[in-house]
Amino acid sequence: MLVSLDFFLPEPAWFRILYLGYLYAQGAFWGVVLHGRARTYTYIPDSLRSFLSAREFTAWLRKMDFHEVAAHTFLRGGISIHWAKKREPGKPVIQ
């Protein structure tokens, strides 16, 4: 069983720009406040620029032979929780 709660790229392009800008500003702010370095937490939006959307991750899980894949998104897909089961070798999937 896989359960994943993670950041993803939001699907609407207009929201993606706002979302990444917000994460960058918050990361820089908390990096300075907590560690004295703005770049401490800005790796999150930097890494998200090359990441998948929640919908693409769902499709990838199915391609990797997971079944009963489900997802619930938040913030227009910027955060998502996924549930999936991995098929056991030699066992048929009962849906």
Which secondary-structure segment (H or E) carries 80?
A: strand 79-86
- Over the stretch 54-73, which tens digit does the pLDDT of each residue have? 999 999 999 999 999 999 99
Query: Above 80 in pLDDT, residue 7?
Result: yes
- Helix ranges restricted to H, the chain: 13-35, 43-48, 54-63
Backbone angles phi, psi at 61, to 5 degrees: -60, -45
Instruction: Quote the DSSP letter at residue 67.
Output: E
Every domain of the chain and the residues it spans: 2-86
Question: What's residue 89's pLDDT?
Answer: 72
Query: Above 80 in pLDDT, residue 87?
Result: no
Question: What's residue 91's pLDDT?
Answer: 67
- Over the stretch 34-53, which tens digit does the pLDDT of each residue have? 999 999 999 889 999 889 99
Q: What gap in Å lies between CA 68 and CA 22, rounded to an integer?
A: 33
Question: What's residue 58's pLDDT?
Answer: 96
Q: What gap in Å lies between CA 46 and CA 81, rounded to an integer?
A: 21
